[in-house]
Structure 1
Amino acid sequence: MTAARIIELRTFTVLEPVRGELLDVYAEVRAPLLHMPNYAVTAFGERLDRHGSESGFVAVLAYADGHPVGFAYGNTVGHGDRYWQRTSPTPAEQYTECPALALKEGGVRPAWRGTGTARRIHDALLAESAEAYVTLMVNPAAGDGKVHELYRSWGYEDIGQSQPSPASPVLTVMIRPIR
């Protein structure tokens, strides 16, 4: 029974030690989508490298029996950041005037879905954050809308849309206070 196993959460502020593990978990989490250019492991690796070099990078990985079963990572976005520039309509200044934590990517291996692992990873990522808000972008079609609804149940609200790259679907930008 997956839910009964002990999960260890580890936080990293440097990408290199966990880059390979992040790529491995991502490949399994996104397996049905890997044929699409935006979801290809190489595209994710390029985004991961860019995000890992940006201000405030933090990643949380969940491990069971020493093996990674899920992750989330993000970094700080400040006023004028391209993250906000690509969001339409322009977000309210209360969200953009001070740095926010942008949750850039996350996922849990299929065998660990529905166990609360994703929420534990999410909450651990926010626990050390000094920012007032956390923001994320979600594909509203992911899981037939269930992923979007999950984030709503965690207190996020929709504030706009963004298409970070030509290969990306139009994503819903969401935000919530960290505390």
Structure 2
Amino acid sequence: MKTRLRRFTELEQVRGPLTAVYAEVREPLLHLRNYAVPTFAERLERYGREPGFAAVLAFGPGDRPVGYAYGNTVGAGDLWWRRIGDVDGEYTVSPALALREIGVTAACRGTGLARRVHDELLAGREERYASLMVNPAAGEGKVQRVYESWGYEAIGPVRPSPDSPVLMAMVRPLHS
């Protein structure tokens, strides 16, 4: 399937299509409060107003969104880092990119689209590091192994909210 990527830096431009593709990607989990569309929409509103917000959407035939990633800049004192606990100061000495969400529709999984969307989100960023949180149980560990193959290393467990599973925080340099 031919896809094209588009970057957005304004929440208003991306809110609708991003929420729609999120709902399709996470459909099997939407009954869980942490994954419910209203919970996602609250997070998107909050992070979409933070410094350095950017989103990348992948569009397939008929301009239908089939993948996405978004994130924003976080500093040393941000809740992102405080939730993790004892974080190496190397990662927090300067602002980092927090990759908040990434996903592709079932039809696009295994095609390399997630990596393309990820790389486009990271392209041109000025932060020294990118960080993300992954459910280590996702895909029986496969998702975390994919992130490791993209250069991320695990730095510690984190539970972002009472409704969230325990996740693994990961980090990688943005510039080699």
**TM-score, structure 2 length as denominator?**
0.96
2:67 to 67, 70, 81: 70
Aligned AA (1:85) = R
Q: 1:128 is paired with a residue of what secondary structure?
A: coil
Q: Letter of the aligned partner of 1:130 in structure 2?
A: E
Q: Which amino acid aligns with 2:153?
A: E
Q: Distance in 2 between matches of 1:157 and 1:120?
A: 19
Indicate the SS of the match to 2:51: coil
Offset, 1:26: 0.8
Matched ranges for 1:94-173 at <5 A = 94-173=90-169
TM-fit CA distance, 1:46: 0.4
2:37 counterpart residue number: 41
Structure 2 residue matching 1:86: 3-state secondary structure: helix
Aligned-partner Cα distance in 2 for 1:23–1:174? 25
Residues in 2 aligned to 1:161 and 1:54: alpha-carbon distance in whole angstroms: 24
Match of 2:82 among 73, 78, 85: 85
Cα shift at 1:77: 0.4
Of 158, 172, 176, the match for 1:176: 172
Q: Distance in 2 between matches of 1:61 and 1:144?
A: 26
Which residue identity is paired with 2:73?
Answer: T
Supply the distance in 2 between the matched residues of 1:158 and 1:45 (Cα, whole angstroms).
27
Residue 86 of structure 1 and its aligned partner are, at CA, apart by 0.6
For 2:24 and 2:57, the matched residues in 1 are separated by 15
Q: Which runs of 4+ in 1 moved over 3 A?
A: none
Q: Does 1:27 align with 2:23?
A: yes
Give the unaligned 5+ runs of structure 2. Answer: none
Paired-residue identity, %:
60
What is the TM-score when the length of structure 1 is the normalising length? 0.95
Q: Distance between the aligned counterparts of 1:140 and 1:47, measured in 2?
A: 21
Deviation of 1:6 (Å) = 2.3
2-structure distance, mates of 1:104, 1:73: 6
Q: CA deviation at 1:19?
A: 0.6
Q: Which residue of 2 aligns with 1:58?
A: 54
Q: 1:145 & 1:79 partners in 2: Cα distance?
A: 29
Shift of residue 144 of structure 1? 1.5
